[in-house]
Structure 1
Amino acid sequence: MNSGRPAELAVDEAVDLKGGTSRPDVTRASWIALSILLLVYLLNNLDRFILSILAQPIKEELRLADWQLGLLTGFAFSLLYVVVGFPMARLSDRGNRTLILSLCVAFWSIMTALCGLATSFVQLCLFRAGVGVGEAACLPASHSLISDLFPPEARTRAMSIFGLGLPLGGFAGVVIGGFVMDHWGWRSAMLIVGLPGLLVALLTWMVIKEPERGRFERASARTLPSAGSLIEVAMALWKSPIARNVIIALTAAGLVGAPNVTFMGPYMIRRFDLGYTELGVIIALTFMLGSAISTLGGGLIVHWASRFDDRWIMWVPAIGVALSAPLYVAAYAQSSWQGLAAILFLASVVNSTYLAPSYAMLHSTVGPNGRATASVIASFCLSLIAMGFGPLLAGMGIDLLAAHLFSVLEQGGFSSACPGGAAAAGSGPELASACRSATSQATQWVIMGCLAAMVWPAWHFFLAARHMTIRTTSNAHHSRV
């Protein structure tokens, strides 16, 4: 036991009776560590997703346009998330990942709480950038730890469990955010979800012991020879047609899916006039629950099916993402929130099968000293390109389309007549109705257009499968990358 680290978890070794040598094995400690990493990732996404349900009241109080909402959930968060992510990945490939992760959890939690104190768009952007700085270490450090806690044949399953932090964090974020919003306002919601992260940071530091790096790859020849540089890792990924198509698919899925996450809550408020507690429960039981089922179920299906043919590692994501496109479009075409919710659940169940297999495939392309870097390269594409441009461009599209639709209904400029997307105080019912109709219809059309493009990432997952070696054995699988 290291000094100052109570309740550490030991990583045991088991005896390989066939070879007579000692090899690392998955222990109870590995599962406990994975549980804590899941909690960290849940908190990461709780802090991120809560803004989606608080977007409309923030927009109304601070008089923001939709492009500003897109900026808050996009570049304000993702730019520094990506910039800091690369040095964090290099630190995670060389330094103490548990310490790095613990400090970053504490930092992003403080920044989330400070968002509740912002009095202007600029302040809110700065605090959101701080959240991005803190969260930059979450995926690279966690993925690197998981790869040293679980052997290759168990990684997809472990990544699927870890990946549950995304939908479960979103589930908690929208439920807590909606309830607190209705009772105490959006500022209190930010404080309530931010401050508990300090306890999670302490738990991470006290319980997870830093595992031996590359403990499952000692005899593997399919690794980088050393802690490859960023360029070496990037080139290894790009030269692999499988990894290259996986990264393109991840980026495309994020680009066309991010507007749905950002504007789902505002659309339902604008179209159906729901309460925020009610909205939080609806989103949690449809989009978030469906995504959780898809993330875990898809990982388990991949784990089982790939024993017979490795190409199912990519076929499952391809089929799921392709099926989600028409379902998402049908959901947003509904005239009632009940119809939207029912079909949205089905679309979410089939859509989120791709995250765990994608990261597991990328990790099989590089060695143990390059996995955190591989994760942050994928995060760069997801965060800066997809999450950065997706919500911003969608917000700009909503603003332009809403202005056009408003000009058809009423005379005058949309931004002056409908500040924050709603009619100014004291306006007549006709103007209020025109503002509401223009914003809700514009939001609906933009979201539907983006989600119809889900066929794009599905095609790249199919392309990745085409480059994989055909294997139909039930042995532990290793795809040719």
Structure 2
Amino acid sequence: MKKAYPLLFFLTLLNMLNFVDRQLIASFANFIVPDLGLTDTQFGFLTSLAFIFFYSVMGIFMGVLGDMVNRPRLIAFGVVLWSIFTALTGAAKGFVSMAVPRMFIGVGESILTPTSMSLLSDSFPEKRMGFAAGFYYMGVPIGVGISLLIAGYLGESLGWRNCFYLLGGIGLLLGLSTLFFKERPRKNAQSTEEKPSLSYASTLKIVFTLFRALKASSALRFTILAGVLYHIVLGAAVFEQLWFVQERGFERSEIAQITGWIGVVAGMAGNLFGGVVSDWWQEKTNQGRPMFLFWLSLVTFPIFIYYRFVDPNTVIFWTGVVLGFFQLGCFFGPTFSVVQELVPNNIRATVVAFYILTLNLVGLTLGSLGGGICVDYMKTNNFDEPYT
């Protein structure tokens, strides 16, 4: 058990880098959009489908691969791949030359989470998986927050392009460091003779097992549906920085710094709260982790609507901003723990990859690309405050 914690810390660090690199384009929205002359639809495409299609579709294959091959080596390959193309993003001259690296970043990043969750499920007992998943997913809000801090503190001095180059170099070093970790024994592992190989038949068998699990478990289906609906809202959040500057009057570096610090602190608090309290909730109430998220969402939902329409100098405005990052942190640990618990051990990485596919390909794409199309339409028709 003690050996599991260094692995958890390192995988969380990689997940943090994962979201820094992924969100850097959204954090630099007020720099990149005018510099490259992008429309909101083009920006929505870059933050959604250009990345998400390859991230989601390849995630299924990488999930199957993660159930078969040496997982630390697979993760190392993914980190190196996405880091190379993160650096190349800094050389973009327009829409197309930014879209192509985003596609390959999606391929590289598709490896990390399915494989990491598989490793963690083999390293922690089931009753501690809420904590482990919650800790791992601290990388999400911290990564988003750090990407905003980079935009806020380094955007004006280094420029957005040099920041992409810098992050790419850091990623290469971390990717190579992954090779120092050893593979973990798989729970309920098959014997060497029975261990699946990378054949078409064995891959097909895992995929069929996945769909049987979906058919057999309504809880799994509803967990996936709830995650998709949540990610539609999350996808639209790529326009947050543009909203802060264009419709709430903030200066671009200032608001990136403020929301960056809020994202790190509130996101960490949310992840720890979501992981630990959801474990406690399940043990004490027997209602399951999804009910914990239901009550949390019911309490915070009115604030998320109301703060969009109030003056930015009010307490309710900043309460809404803080709660947005806090709830983002709360979401991931409980939901991914539920998904892990509802399926057989031998297809956990595959199911996580399928879950990620639906969250991103459906949820984030509808939020980001759909949001961009709506904003462009409202701008064309002279709507007041289209981002709001």
Q: TM-score, normalised by structure 2?
A: 0.92
Answer yes or no: is the 8 Å Cα contact 1:272–1:337 preserved in 2.
no
Answer yes or no: is the 8 Å Cα contact 1:111–1:127 preserved in 2.
yes
Map 1:63-78; keep pairs closer than 5 Å.
63-78=37-52
Aligned-pair distance for 1:230? Answer: 1.3
The 3 A distance-change label for structure 1 pair 181 and 119 is: same
Q: What are the Cα deviations for residues 106-164 of structure 1, in whole angstroms up to 9, with x where unaligned? A: 11011111100011100100011111011010111101000001111111110010010
Partner of 1:238: 215
Measure the CA separation in 2 of the matches of 1:387 and 1:150: 30
Map 1:20-419; keep pairs closer than 5 Å.
26-27=1-2, 29-206=3-180, 208-214=181-187, 228-260=205-237, 262-336=238-312, 339=315, 340-350=317-327, 352-405=329-382
Superposition CA RMSD, Å: 2.0
Aligned-pair distance for 1:38? Answer: 0.3
Measure the CA separation in 2 of the matches of 1:312 and 1:367: 18
Answer yes or no: is the 8 Å Cα contact 2:235–2:368 preserved in 1.
yes
What amino acid is aligned across from residue 143 of structure 1 in structure 2?
Answer: M
The 3 A distance-change label for structure 1 pair 289 and 402 is: farther
Measure the CA separation in 2 of the matches of 1:175 and 1:390: 24
Answer yes or no: is the 8 Å Cα contact 1:251–1:382 preserved in 2.
yes
Runs of 5+ consecutive residues of structure 1 not aligned to the other structure: 1-25, 219-225, 407-437, 445-481
Q: What are the Cα deviations for residues 169-200 of structure 1, in whole angstroms up to 9, with x where unaligned? A: 11111101222211122111211222101111
The 3 A distance-change label for structure 1 pair 196 and 351 is: closer
Measure the CA separation in 2 of the matches of 1:50 and 1:377: 25
Aligned-pair distance for 1:312? Answer: 4.0
Query: Aligned to 1:270, what secondary structure does the other structure show?
Result: helix
For this pair of structures, how many residues does the alignment match?
A: 376
Query: Aligned to 2:187, what secondary structure does the other structure show?
Result: coil
Measure the CA separation in 1 of the matches of 2:7 and 2:63: 20
What amino acid is aligned across from residue 443 of structure 1 in structure 2?
Answer: Y
Runs of 5+ consecutive residues of structure 2 not aligned to the other structure: 192-201
Aligned-pair distance for 1:295? Answer: 1.7
Aligned-pair distance for 1:52? Answer: 1.4
Aligned-pair distance for 1:51? Answer: 1.4
The 3 A distance-change label for structure 1 pair 337 and 85 is: farther
Query: Aligned to 2:284, what secondary structure does the other structure show?
Result: coil
Query: Aligned to 1:149, what secondary structure does the other structure show?
Result: coil
Aligned-pair distance for 1:97? Answer: 0.7
Aligned-pair distance for 1:63? Answer: 1.2
Aligned-pair distance for 1:337? Answer: 5.6
Measure the CA separation in 2 of the matches of 1:330 and 1:141: 39
Answer yes or no: is the 8 Å Cα contact 1:97–1:210 preserved in 2.
yes
Structure whose CA Rg is larger: 1
Aligned-pair distance for 1:101? Answer: 0.2
Measure the CA separation in 1 of the matches of 2:158 and 2:331: 37
The 3 A distance-change label for structure 1 pair 59 and 108 is: same
Query: Aligned to 2:387, what secondary structure does the other structure show?
Result: helix
Measure the CA separation in 2 of the matches of 1:113 and 1:393: 28
Aligned-pair distance for 1:257? Answer: 2.1
Q: Which has the higher helix share?
A: 2
Q: What are the Cα deviations for residues 353-400 of structure 1, in whole angstroms up to 9, with x where unaligned? A: 232111111111222210000101101101111122210000110111
Query: Aligned to 2:381, what secondary structure does the other structure show?
Result: helix
Aligned-pair distance for 1:237? Answer: 2.4
Q: TM-score, normalised by structure 1?
A: 0.75
Q: Which has the higher contact order (CA 8 A, sep 6+)?
A: 2
